[in-house]
A and B are shown apart, each in its own frame.
Chain A
Amino acid sequence: MPVTIHKDIVCTFCGALCDDLEMHVENNKVIDVKNVCGIGRNKALHGDNDKPECRVYGERATLEEAYDASARMLAQARSPLVYGFSSTVAEANRVGVELAEILRGGLDNCSSYCHGPGVLARQHVGLPTCTLGEAKNRADLVVFWGANPMESHMRHFSRYSVQAKGMYTPLGRKDRKMAVVDVRPTPSSKNADLFFQVTPGSDYEIATVLRALVLEMPLPTLTDDSLVGGVPLARWRELVELIKQCKYCVVFFGIGLTQSQGKDLNVEQLIRLVSDCNRYTRVYAMPMRGHANVNGNNQVFVWQTGYPLAISFNRGYPRFNPGEFSVIDMLNRGDVDAAIIVATDPAAHLPYTAVDALKKIPTIVLDPVNSLTTEWANVVIPVATSGLSAAGTYYRMDNVPIRLRKIIDCEWPTDLEVLQNIKERVLNAKDH
């Protein structure tokens, strides 16, 4: 069979959305990938294999039977939940929101337990930020806080940040300083000019002291030797001086900041710090979004409902209340009596209490591959894989939207088609 080479393909693993991949397709199968990290390569080579069976209550079923069963479960529920979406296209997200609206159900996505606190912090203080190309072209200082891209966003350094050669950073790494704040040495911190190994849970305190230093406020109880987050104050002064003297700094923050003690307050204080620094020079912050389109979830949810996550339609219009309408809390309280899950694997990601709650109610799952959830879900619908056998839009961690192409055929429908089918059937069921 001839090999077809597809260029400029988008990787769908992490929020960095590298879009320069070269995929070699033979016999409707990806056989080789170039310009890709180890994780992306694995995903591209195996993302469309290992399809689950289409099943209803454990029995092999046709798609029509699965759609009917799903619509019935959802239409009969009093408090259904529509959840997931972090690895599917924005177009499917748009129909997902509509389905939740028609069902008067709950609606949440995976940012609920990853970068959600950062999204909440943005509601408090905003976010001065930039696109990744600005980091590449201009940043002469990059800071990673609670993030380890060498293992999570493997091409981030070379494409966008530490080593990237840009317009005003033609020498790449040599034109930049790099600082890392983390609780332990990581493969990323090994590359850093400055590494701050901090006490777990001290991020808020550190950001507060850094703000005081930036704003030149007195710190009468501290001396240069005083430890702030386990690091002497003098070293933090060093970081502040570096920031003040740079031309353009980007602080990339990860789950180490958003999910450690303080959560959204940590991010809020970091954003305030970054805002304060702009009286001297350009300093921005950017979340290191994990799942490739988890930002797209927030984007679509916001433009259709006004809120990024943790939404309820039970009064017919969108309401937002994290803690009340977040997926984990809803499940733990037993507030959900049917769930449709799209493009995520709750059995692998959620606490076991929430998973147990899901197991007790009718659960529908759409997944391109077998997962821990497809093992027991009441309805399992295999779908095409976004970016390989399904086209659509993903939103990068810096809000830049990129269109995924379809390069191989798949016998199964896309998430979008499945959701539309279920939506039509729910509407019909509600009419009668």
Chain B
Amino acid sequence: MLKIINGGVYDPLQGLSGQAGTICVGDDGKICDPPSDAAPCDIVDASGCAVMAGGVDIHSHIAGTKVNSARSMCPEDHYDHFKPHTDTTRAGTGFTVPTSFYTGYEYAGQGYTTVFEAAVPPLEARHAHEELLDVPIIDTGTYTLMGNNYMIMQILAEQDPVSRKERLRDLVSWLLTTTKGYAVKVVNPGGVESWKWAQGIQDLDTPVPPFGVTPRQIMTGLAETIRGLGLPHGMHLHCNHLGEAGNYITTLETMRALDGLPFHLTHLQFHAYGQSKKGTLKSAASELADYINGHPNVTFDVGQMVFGPATTMTADAPMQYRLHVVTGHKWINNDVEMESGAGVVPLQYKPKSLVNAIQWCVGLELLLLVKNAWQIILTTDHPNAGPFSAYPQIIRLLMDRDYRASQMEALNPRVGKYTVLAQLAREYTLEEIAIITRSAPAKTLGLPQRGNLRAGSCGDIAAYRIQEDKERMFREPAYVFKDGALVVRDGKAIKSPQGRRLLVEPDCGAVLPDDLVDEFHRYYSITLANFPVQEEYIPRPEVIACK
């Protein structure tokens, strides 16, 4: 039994915002009510601390083929950032793409205890799962890429709506089960297939070669299927036209098309750009925020930009090629047969660059203009818009208006013409920070035992010393507990337990329809028997029930 006493408890789900309280964790690693008898227990004094549930990252790139390709391509990311071996922790290197062990320690070191790898092609899922075995402390899960999957597009092109619906449900269920995925991820639907044909950019209603289905059909078809399967998390959507001036129109149209269906918009900052008269970027955060404020079921994570080095990596292969051409930086592409693609390009975001300065403002504007914190989730789309290690800095920008103003002074002076950030006075409260870093992501992911401190929830708890400098407060939690065990002290990991893998098991079975088995044999380069991710890669599964 663990007792954390004297802390100010922040648990938005229970309406607690700093009230003094005691949090107890039983020997089963779950939070429990304080025992009536004087049972022996470890007591931790959290005086002066804000006690919160462990952080939950809904969208990050931490393991798998493209992440590891990025690590391999960028040794310059590692030389100056390293952690030596200790008796209880492994060594590691890397800043924007830390090595596996280092990633676990760094996340836990900020009080995060659950993190999702956001883009895994089915064929390479085994890699992501094997690598995640070497990410210590945190619980993890993976999203399975489906937005450019050949078999899905083939089924969507079928005429009979009843059979189409059933077959799609079986296929999505099979893909999630065989890849041990947690959610359906859609990236630039149709656009990656189009890239493989060396064709142009995909609008919502442009037919995708050679199937003739449109991105709109792919998104609505998948979102309806997700609703039918009752998956805990909606369609995790990276919209079309990422990074392009004027793309907010597509984003708005996408939200309208999916109205009433389960979906989550990821790294919205990259999809919230208007177009100036000269054709250049300007902020359209207000337009998107207006829509989101009127639609309380819409959730998004922000993908806030952070100045400094970043490594962009996404399944959006055509976008990465454009970035390579624009910057001249080195470029990895990886087309994945039948399923998806990927690209990696390293970048530097600079405050003096007008485009980067606008992007930085757009993210903060979204965070400040959307009123209900439960619709907002803090991410940097790690490491695309910056590393997750910058979360404490972003929290300070949100909580401290003066600090924000001082940081704005470093921006390209023309930024004011294209953004409204300078006029926004809102400051986040600690409760709101608790919402966007743990409670809202847990709720959006359908994880009732995470992101809150109710009895029965996981004993994943972070205690941050309350202080004026909020960046420092969130960078070095006094204590972090995983399943009730102390794993971090003063921001430093002191243990390497293995986390759990979060999975879903939709009840539509795990069998590929017969005609698709035939296709599989003909067009995949591995056999069907060797395709599913084996149990050996998931030693600590935690199945989250479908609705």
Contact = CB atoms under 8 A, between A and B. Distances in A.
Nearest to A250: B335
Given A94-B134, A101-B85, A313-B85, A136 B525 contact: yes
A58 interface: no
A334 interface: no
A8 B91 CA distance: 38
A325 B415 CA distance: 48
A175 interface: no
Give the bracket for the number of chain B residues in contact with chain A. Answer: 35 or more
Contacts of A400: 123-124, 525-526
Interface residues of A, number: 65
A305 interface: yes
A133 B196 contact: no
Contacts of B134: 94, 303-304
Interface in A191-213: none
Nearest to A10: B530
Given A128-B331, A399-B65, A400-B124, A302 B72 contact: yes
B55 to A, nearest CB: 23
Interface string A88-106: 0010001000100110100
A138 interface: yes
Contacts of A303: 63, 68, 71, 99-100, 131, 134
A400 to B, nearest CB: 6
A69 interface: no
Contacts of A119: 72
Interface stretch (B76-84, B160-168, B359-367, B450-458): B76-84
A248 interface: yes
Nearest to A307: B75
Interface in A122-153: 122-134, 136-138
A281 B338 CA distance: 19
Contacts of A305: 91-93, 99
A133 B338 contact: yes
Given A133-B524, A395-B127, A126 B198 contact: no
A393 interface: yes
A384 to B, nearest CB: 16
A160 B526 CA distance: 10
Given A313-B91, A317-B83, A402-B530, A133 B75 contact: no
Given A402-B126, A403-B534, 17 more contacts: A10-B530, A90-B130, A123-B73, A126-B330, A126-B333, A127-B73, A133-B123, A133-B523, A134-B336, A136-B523, A282-B335, A305-B93, A306-B92, A313-B91, A317-B85, A318-B99, A320-B75
6 contacts: A131-B525, A167-B523, A302-B99, A303-B71, A317-B85, A399-B124
Interface of A: 7-8, 10, 19-20, 90, 94, 98, 101-102, 104, 119, 122-134, 136-138, 159-160, 165-167, 247-248, 275, 278-282, 284, 298-299, 302-308, 313, 315-318, 320, 391, 393, 395, 399-403
Closest 5 pairs (CB-CB, A-B): A133-B337, A133-B525, A316-B84, A130-B335, A126-B330
